[in-house]
Amino acid sequence: MRLKPICFIAARGGSKGVPGKNLKSIGGPPLISHSIHKALKSNLFSHIIVSTEDKKIAKIAKQSGAEVPFLRPRKLATDNATTIDVILHAIKKLEQMDYKFDVLVNLDVTVPFLRMKDVKGAIELLNRKKCDAVFAVYKQHLNPYYNIVEKNSDGFLKIVKPLKNKPKSRQSSPVVYQMNGLHVIRKEVIVKTKTWYTSKVLPFEIPIETGLMIDTPFEFQIAKNMFKILNRN
């Protein structure tokens, strides 16, 4: 019998882009509670695990229905700690506690509008295909072949990925995608490779409006306004 995946939510206390964002109220509940409530309601997961070093976040996470079976070490809650480091630490701790799972769904707190039917679709795609992971993406209109630039060594602007035959429009440029905060990963792959960017990652396309990631105060304000609009309808 196939094991249910676990839902993994990483939520440190020291957010820099939007200070304290995991506990900031948005549309009523704290930001972290939106992801937990959706995950619980979906019935997709055997466990919903929150990894944090912050006792306030741990308390809210438990009150919202998640499990916090361990506190993350402080060294894994700094700007230098990677998400992979955090996931590998969690897998080791969970295995020591006899949690059984073979797929980990990394669900970022900063994507509160993500639909659970898309999470389910990404999990089903992983189960159908011979791949290491499935990432949620949406088509991006900002394009490194056409309108994304960087400075050259003299300080002048240049296209990030210039083509021999420059596209005449954004629509005729190669399609590019924006990743967001949903990664469905085989546990054995991430333990073996110590990365989730292997050569066998498939995309699962989602609507752009559900993929908004809150990484800046401006994006937080956009999300607050979106909740107001959704609650009026």
d(CA 50, CA 217): 23
Residues constituting the chain: 233
d(CA 184, CA 124): 10
pLDDT at 1: 61
How do beta strands 47-51 and 6-10 pair? parallel
In order of their start, the domains of the chain are 6-136+178-215 (3.90.550.10), 141-175 (no CATH)
- Give, as one character, the DSSP assignment of residue 178: E
φ/ψ (deg, to 5) at 63: -65, -30
Token pair 């992983």 in the structure block, residue: 126
| pLDDT tens, position by position, 166-193 | 898 888 999 999 998 999 999 999 999 9
pLDDT at 153: 95
pLDDT at 233: 56
pLDDT at 151: 97
Instruction: Answer whether 163's CB lies under 8 Å from 176's CB.
Output: no
In this prediction, the residues of the chain whose per-residue pLDDT falls under 50 are none
